[in-house]
Amino acid sequence: MAYDAKSLETLRRQFHSRSVTFNNFQGITNEDVETLKQIIASKKKYLEAKQSLFINPGLNNYINTLRYLTNPTISQELSTFDEKVLYLILSCDPELITMKTFISSDILPASRINEEEDDKKRKGLEQRRYQELEQYATAVRQELGFYDGSLLKYESILSRRLLKKQGLITDVKIPSLDKLLKRAELIKTLDIITDNSLIRLRSICEMWLNEAKDPTDLNSLAYNLLNRFKDLHIYNIEEQLIIFILIADPNLDLLKIYEEESNFNQMKVRAKNELGFYNKDLIKVERLYHDKFEPEKEISAWAK
């Protein structure tokens, strides 16, 4: 069958029409992932036989995979939409390029547009976001040979639920730091953190410092703490914030700045200049950490 943009869009819509039955990969295990990989390998010759000389291999594979998945007579072993979308990802984007490219793209958040009250400025922001999304789609096409924006949602869920050996995600442009630090307001005590917990958290810190492309990239650190917590064996927001402190501010400099500055604005400016971040509730968490685990650490020059 010849390829044209209209027929591809029809095929894509036919496949995604069952997305209302998507169940967030509930019930699918890592063993199921391996089984699907075997099915994909067994179908390789069938799909290769349908290769076209006129389009790139990535797009050709995507088209033929969609045709296979939308043909009920030859894809009977895949009974649910979850299995089929997982098959599509494993066959056409196994490295999750669609998701990883989005994460590393500097795309204006939709929430920023919604916050803008001026109509003219909002239209400008909408145009900017549209252009940035187009650039993102182009970047994905260059990597894969095709772009399917619907895969972003599925790959994001898949990376959190099943693919636990994909490694750290770096070069994150999605704003994540403030979202993580905002969780500090929920912490009242560190009673849940034991000495044994702290040993485990320090090992996670070592892993980040040794394996991250840029260990000082606090936004990427925050993204991993928010979205990869199961993979990293982080069990609560207290642990998320303690790991952040141990990596981003091991000397508790934010707490020291709080002790040394009497002017709020000066405190905030100094913290952002020296540390790259400021959050008033994180000061409280650093105080709790200091009092429980490092009470001997001096936190103010005035204490001398």
pLDDT tens profile 14-65: 999 999 999 999 888 888 888 899 988 887 766 665 665 557 889 999 999 9
- Asked whether residue 163 carries a pLDDT value surpassing 80, the answer given is no
Residues 136 and 257 in one domain: no
The answer as to whether 292 is a domain residue is yes
DSSP conformational letter for 196: H
- Do 221 and 270 have their domain in common? yes
191, 153: one domain:
no
What mean pLDDT comes out for the span 167-184?
A: 88
Same domain, 204 and 115: no
If we measure between CA atoms, which residue out of 82, 84, 128, 73 comes closest to residue 106? 128
> What crossing angle do the helices spanning 264-275 and 253-260 adopt, rounded to 10°?
150
* Predicted confidence (pLDDT) per residue in 71-121, tens digit: 877 667 788 999 999 999 999 999 899 998 998 888 888 888 988 889 999
For residue 167, being part of any structural domain is answered with no
| Other beta carbons within 10 Å of 108 | 16
Q: Give the domain-ending residue among 161, 188, 212.
A: 161
73 with 183, same domain?
no
> Same domain for 30 and 135?
yes
pTM (global) more than 0.75: no
Nearest to 131 by CA among 150, 155, 105: 105
CA dihedral 230, 289, 216, 172 (to 10 degrees): 40
Q: Are 219 and 178 in contact (CB under 8 A)?
A: no
Looking at the structure, tell me whether residues 213 and 147 fall in a common domain: no
The reply to whether 245 falls in a domain is yes
pLDDT of residue 189: 95
156 phi/psi in degrees, rounded to 5: -65, -45
Domain span including residue 218? 177-303
Q: Which of 161, 191, 221 is the last residue of a domain?
A: 161
What pLDDT sits at residue 51? 60
Let me know how long the chain is: 304
How far, CA to CA in Å, does 127 sit from each of 69, 106, 112, 123? 35, 14, 13, 6
